[in-house]
Amino acid sequence: MLFIFISFFSISLILLISLKFLQKRFDPFEIFILFMFNSYQCQNFFYLLSSPYDRLRVVEEHLPFWTVRLQYGIIFPALLMWVMYALRSDLKFSIKIMICFSWVAGGVLIEKILLLIGVLASHSKSWYPSIDFVMSMIVLSICILFMELLPPILRKEKVIP
């Protein structure tokens, strides 16, 4: 379990450091606001799935708890920032769709891996990735909508040029 935590911690650090390269398409203040919004959405996504139903929950130990916090608080949102970077680039539409789908499918795959290695636990007889898949698409859509709405507001308030 310690190896898994150290791996997630290292990935989190690398992704946080990589956010400075987003300045080619985003203003630094915009990066901060988008990252905080993405982090909030990703964490709420997990707690929405885990709290009312006993489908997925974090194992009651310190390392799994912090591993999941890193996953939903830093790793998913930072990767979502890179998806947004790709959406603002001049890539073909099909590649943009593929990148979005990769984020959604990768998130579901990581949840399955966390379930298999014992970081997450489930008391239900089966795990339904389709629910997680749909929720990930909703989070992605909300975050992309926010990304599109934020720059005009920041320009109007003269926060960004």
At 9 the pLDDT is 96
Instruction: Examine the pLDDT at 127 and tell me if it is beyond 70.
Output: no
**How far is the C-alpha of 90 from the C-alpha of 148, rounded, in Å?**
16
21 assigned to some structural domain: no
Range of the domain at 76: 2-16+28-156
Average pLDDT over residues 52-71: 81
Percent of the chain as helix, strand, coil, to the nearest 5 = 80, 0, 20
12 assigned to some structural domain: yes
**How far is the C-alpha of 21 from the C-alpha of 102, rounded, in Å?**
21
Confidence of residue 53 (pLDDT cuts 50, 70, 90): low
At 124 the pLDDT is 72
At 161 the pLDDT is 84
- Phi-psi label, residue 92: left if phi above 0, alpha if psi -120 to 50, beta otherwise: beta
At 47 the pLDDT is 73
Average pLDDT over residues 5-13: 95
Average pLDDT over residues 34-45: 93
Q: How many domains does the chain have?
A: 1
Average pLDDT over residues 40-58: 74
23 assigned to some structural domain: no
81 assigned to some structural domain: yes
84 assigned to some structural domain: yes
161 assigned to some structural domain: no
117 assigned to some structural domain: yes
Average pLDDT over residues 108-127: 83
Confidence of residue 29 (pLDDT cuts 50, 70, 90): very high
Alpha-carbon dihedral 127, 144, 47, 59, rounded to 10 degrees: 60
Strands 120-121 and 57-58: antiparallel
Chain mean pLDDT for the chain: 90
pTM for the complete prediction? 0.90
7 assigned to some structural domain: yes
Confidence of residue 52 (pLDDT cuts 50, 70, 90): low
